[in-house]
Structure 1
């Protein structure tokens, strides 16, 4: 029979996938593990130290997974043409069959934003993936493209956690992988009928959001902003009332339970994400590569935050009641990026939706990694990464 230590760690790992870090409490963990609350403090200095131990246990499993994935490709001739199959299978296996590990990684990123106790685990995750994609890059003779593969895995594995139709999701993932592989090989880009179908369905079937009266809309906006700045754990009726400049009674009357308030907050986050994804080009300006790079660096330097989007994506991946949002979040990305790329590549080089989604995903991964860097923002490294992906897309 597992020890109480092992049961506590395993219970936390399950809670990350089923409920999320915001729902974790000592009482909930003790009940689910079938041990007294005192057992937590017998084995660990605090609840947070239990969470750190659970992260370390998941990192051990993740390292074993990385080793196993690379072992499956042993003996394969090292050529870029073989990369797409490996990339797609790695994402599918990670996001679907290793789902508890995928949630642990995402929860670590959210935890590190609130508590420096998780910074070390966050760095270990980053190092694990950097080493994995460096070895994969060498195995498939990708040259200097390991960083691009790493960024694209980070983004596409996140999106692949959002479930729509299993067949379409897997086929669309294969198309993204083949597009990335073709860019690495400097070959013509493949057709992408599955992604195009999914995008059209996403446009056609956008959820009809509730029509809110002005006060309710004000509460929805305040709740979404609160999650974006402080995370799901901060979402209480009192905190929303303070942010919205309303009384606690007004907020409680409009949204009677915390779960209803939470759904409203994610509705607000979804609307804000959708507006950004649907934004058309801001005029007919032709962007230069340095303009694009400088714009993204400026966005990061001035405090771009990915917290709200991260919370929304993890919640949609976890909660069946929010999956109505998943199709649009997954397949409508890249519209603004498409106009940028078209300006960069010129009118004679049509930009497809998958190339635009690829560039959008790359920049989204950068923002997730560096949005909270502040004065420590590594501008030169970020510029180097952006210039490398732009050079790849330019061919």
Structure 2
């Protein structure tokens, strides 16, 4: 995960991982037989580090205000954070390299599931969003995140709150 965030997805090799972890090459290739296995492990680690602080542990209803606050705080953090850069690098690598298509699908699925678990807890008169709708929202949020990342850091939180309010209004999430 560290290598992807600092040097990009192309820098993830068995040799680079062994060196960064202080292991011999044989140990790394034993546990991760392919480059795809290395990338999948990197993604799992990055994903958990990115989502764990923002995942609610309760399973009950989630207020619109708490949801927007959480995403606003996330968007306001440093866009150059290695894990954020790593996630983008892995998605880009999956788009460029056909051998990483499965990893790209896994990334999209995980992001969609996380979005669904959060959105399904928001109050909507018409009931919770479907997993498919949450997947579309997840993709929209990823694009919004990229747009927010290029803004002045002082503006990220304000713009994030404005955009998230518009998205939740469009989804007819109750106030």
Is the shorter-chain TM-score for this pair beyond 0.5, marking a shared fold? yes
The Cα offsets for residues 17-73 of structure 1, whole Å up to 9 and x where unpaired, read as xxxxxxxxxxxxxxxxxxxxxxxxxxxxxxxxxxxxxxxxxxxxxxxxxxxxxxxxx
Task: Determine which of 359, 371, 382 is the counterpart of 2:160.
Answer: 382
Please give the residue correspondences for 1:139-288 in structure 2 after superposition, counting only pairs within 5 Å.
224-232=1-9, 234-235=11-12, 240-241=17-18, 243-244=20-21, 246=22, 250=24, 252-255=25-28, 262-272=35-45, 282-288=57-63
The Cα offsets for residues 226-252 of structure 1, whole Å up to 9 and x where unpaired, read as 1023313554667545542x15xx1x3
Other-structure match for 1:334: 112
Higher relative contact order (CA 8 A, sep 6+): 2
Q: TM-score, normalised on structure 2?
A: 0.69
* CA displacement at 1:386 relative to structure 2: 0.8
Residues 1:350 and 1:240: Cα distance change in structure 2 (over 3 Å):
closer
Alignment pair present for 1:300 and 2:78 = no
Q: Which has the larger radius of gyration?
A: 1
Other-structure match for 1:291: 66
- Partners of 2:109 and 2:123 in 1: how far apart? 23
* CA displacement at 1:371 relative to structure 2: 4.4
- Partners of 1:368 and 1:394 in 2: how far apart? 24
- Partners of 1:347 and 1:308 in 2: how far apart? 38
- Partners of 1:322 and 1:233 in 2: how far apart? 12
Do 1:281 and 1:339's aligned partners in 2 also have CA atoms closer than 8 Å?
Answer: no
**Can you give the 5+ residue segments of structure 2 that lack an aligned partner in the other structure?**
none
SS at match of 2:121: helix
- Partners of 2:19 and 2:150 in 1: how far apart? 25
* CA displacement at 1:288 relative to structure 2: 2.0
* CA displacement at 1:393 relative to structure 2: 0.2
Alignment pair present for 1:363 and 2:141 = yes
* CA displacement at 1:264 relative to structure 2: 4.1
* CA displacement at 1:267 relative to structure 2: 2.0
Residues 1:346 and 1:298: Cα distance change in structure 2 (over 3 Å):
same
The Cα offsets for residues 127-157 of structure 1, whole Å up to 9 and x where unpaired, read as xxxxxxxxxxxxxxxxxxxxxxxxxxxxxxx
Q: TM-score, normalised on structure 1?
A: 0.35
Residues 1:235 and 1:377: Cα distance change in structure 2 (over 3 Å):
farther
Do 1:334 and 1:356's aligned partners in 2 also have CA atoms closer than 8 Å?
Answer: yes
Do 1:226 and 1:235's aligned partners in 2 also have CA atoms closer than 8 Å?
Answer: yes
* CA displacement at 1:361 relative to structure 2: 1.8
Alignment pair present for 1:349 and 2:127 = yes
- Partners of 1:238 and 1:225 in 2: how far apart? 14
The Cα offsets for residues 96-119 of structure 1, whole Å up to 9 and x where unpaired, read as xxxxxxxxxxxxxxxxxxxxxxxx
- Partners of 1:372 and 1:240 in 2: how far apart? 30
Matched pairs, number: 164
- Partners of 1:300 and 1:230 in 2: how far apart? 23
SS at match of 1:284: coil
Task: Determine which of 290, 310, 326 is the counterpart of 2:88.
Answer: 310
Compute the RMSD of aligned alpha carbons.
Answer: 3.5
